Amino acid sequence: MFAVLFGKLRDLLYPLLSSCSVFHVLGLSALTLTLLLTGRLAQLLWKRRELCCFPCPPQRNWLLGHMGMIRTDEVGMQEVDELIRTYRHCCAWFLGPFYNIIRLFHPDYLKPLLLASASITFKDELFYGFMRPWLGQGLVLSNGKEWSRQRRLLTPAFHFDILKNYVYIFNQSSNIMHEKWRRLLAEGKDELDMFEHVTLMTLDSLLKCTFSYDSQCQETSSEYISAIFELSELVVARQRFLPHHWEWLYKRSADGRRFRRACDLVHNFTAAIVEERRSKLLKHGPPDSCTRNNTTGSKKKTVDFIDVLLLSKDENGEGLSNEEIKAQADTFMFAGHDTTASAISWLLYNLAMHQEYQERCRSEINAVLSNRDTEDITWDDLSNLPFTTMCIKESLRLHPPAATVTRYYSQDMSVPGGRIIPQGNICLISVYGTHHNPELWPNPEVYDPMRFDPENSKQRSSYAFIPFSAGPRNCIGQSFALAEIRVVVALTLRRFRILPGSRPTKRLYKIIMRTEDGMPLKLEPLTPSQE
């Protein structure tokens, strides 16, 4: 439409322009531009009318809408609580004239969106696009047929037979962290930033499970780990600074250059491992399918994610290319370490604040480990920790690591009340909002593991608790994460009493649920008789 309009204007103005001075030409150009921009703005604002069937919280003004009104700190989280108390199901949210968003926080509204076929579900560029140069077309960012093929090829990597082998690694990484804690406590530090320690521990585990790479990152600094931290920080910084949404400007900024450097470092690291493994595979054939006694940890190498990805084949016998495997490995590193670290840190925080639940978990763990020569947690132990699992779930409800998930759809989507979300609109599925919705969770701010007692869960919609999202695009690493969380919490509670830190903890949402200024918790080592 604009091309036609522009053509007509040009034909109209050409005779005038050929006889005018440079000032006239400039004036006319400015006028044309203003007309075009005004037309575009009117068109964008008109589109908002499509969402008039959704309630709309008060806006900053008619043009900016709710721009700048989302805060991600403690105050912002409390504002979301207030929003849910007022709107209960969903509301419209306008980020200037450019982005129209539907925020949803009720299972009846989430269900049709989460269950929609992957062929009509897309990840939007506003929330996910800035990760693309880092994660490429990995599973988190790919769409449609490409995603379906990848998901099929990657699913075997998360089969229980593979995950069982990682339990040994989770034990090992926890042992390294606990050794460090004991040393720091002996040096007189009784309060530690849980987030910092746990994040290094989950990275350590994930590097071993993905690449069989022992980075020793819990003890010494690593360039690769620093680059991963830097990339996560830079993606958030870019999302929040509108001028940097413009690729041309971002590339030339200091942040843009740091981002490029960190991406190069991470990509080179992954490429070197994938290429080396591919050539080993060609020379020596596949590794044994199941190689680790997960209690004792024999000397044989664990089958890691790269091994599984190199061997997986689709129905036509086609495997993943090196480029695809690299994108998946970078994706696992991004999607798997921060989320799990957030889940473990908040769980330890909640148990520190509720000593009665901590004690009950400890008794359960000690009962499982009684009469054993080793302290290692085994795969079979994981299903014998029902109360601890309830505490984990309640922590994931109260502090979901991934607080939002966003999507858009290539066709109109019906939600309850006869409402339609027009195709192309961004749908922000508020995991945090749903988990804090008082209609679903009475006294939502209270940490109460009994909510997950099977008796109390019977009547609840399965879309009321969605820390790993739901439907075809749910988290592929869910079982991996839950196994790791259980091993780490079991070993931690067996060896330490966790107490609240000296400073209050304020929530901060930065892609992942974090804290504003670390998460100080006090630790008391337990002697064998106290266990």
Q: Is 65 in the site for ligand HEM (CB under 6 A)?
A: no
Q: Which residues have C-beta within 8 Å of that of residue 417, sequence separation ≥ 6?
A: 53
Residue that the structure tokens 């695809």 belong to: 324
Contact pick of 165, 270, 294, 331 for ligand HEM (by CB under 6 A): 331
Choose the stretch contacting ligand HEM; rule: CB under 6 A; options: 230-238, 335-343, 374-382, 438-446: 335-343
CB of 306 to ligand HEM, least distance (A): 12
CB of 382 to ligand HEM, least distance (A): 15
Cα–chain center distance at 338: 7
Contact pick of 169, 198, 234, 335 for ligand HEM (by CB under 6 A): 335
Task: Report how far residue 333's alpha carbon sits from residue 504's, in angstroms, rounded to the nearest whole number.
Answer: 30
Q: What is the DSSP-derived secondary structure letter of residue 378?
A: -
Nearest residue to the partner ligand HEM, using Cβ: 477
Residue that the structure tokens 């036509």 belong to: 316
DSSP string, 162-225: HHHHHHHHHHHHHHHHHHHHHHHHHTT--EEEHHHHHHHHHHHHHHHHHH-----TTTS--HHH
CB of 497 to ligand HEM, least distance (A): 24
Using CB under 6 A as the binding rule, the residues of this chain from 479 to 498 that contact ligand HEM are: 480-481
CB of 450 to ligand HEM, least distance (A): 21
Q: Is 211 in the site for ligand HEM (CB under 6 A)?
A: no
Q: Are 334 and 228 in contact (CB under 8 A)?
A: yes
CB of 489 to ligand HEM, least distance (A): 12
Strand ranges (E), 87-168: 90-95, 99-104, 121-122
Q: Give 162 or 491: the residue with its C-beta nearer to ligand HEM.
A: 162
Backbone angles phi, psi at 406, to 5 degrees: -125, 155
Q: Give 97 or 150: the residue with its C-beta nearer to ligand HEM.
A: 150
Using CB under 6 A as the binding rule, the residues of this chain from 452 to 481 that contact ligand HEM are: 467-469, 473, 475-477, 480-481
Cα distances from 193 to residues 72, 209, 514, in angstroms, run 21, 25, 12
Partners of residue 522 on adjacent β-strands:
191, 499
Q: Is 97 in the site for ligand HEM (CB under 6 A)?
A: no
90 labelled binding-site residue: no
Q: Is 194 in the site for ligand HEM (CB under 6 A)?
A: no
Scanning 419-459, the segments in alpha helix (DSSP H) are 431-435, 454-457
CB of 123 to ligand HEM, least distance (A): 6
Q: Is 149 in the site for ligand HEM (CB under 6 A)?
A: no
Q: Is 336 in the site for ligand HEM (CB under 6 A)?
A: yes
Contacts to ligand HEM by CB under 6 A:
139-140, 151, 331-332, 335-336, 339-340, 343, 401-402, 405, 467-469, 473, 475-477, 480-481
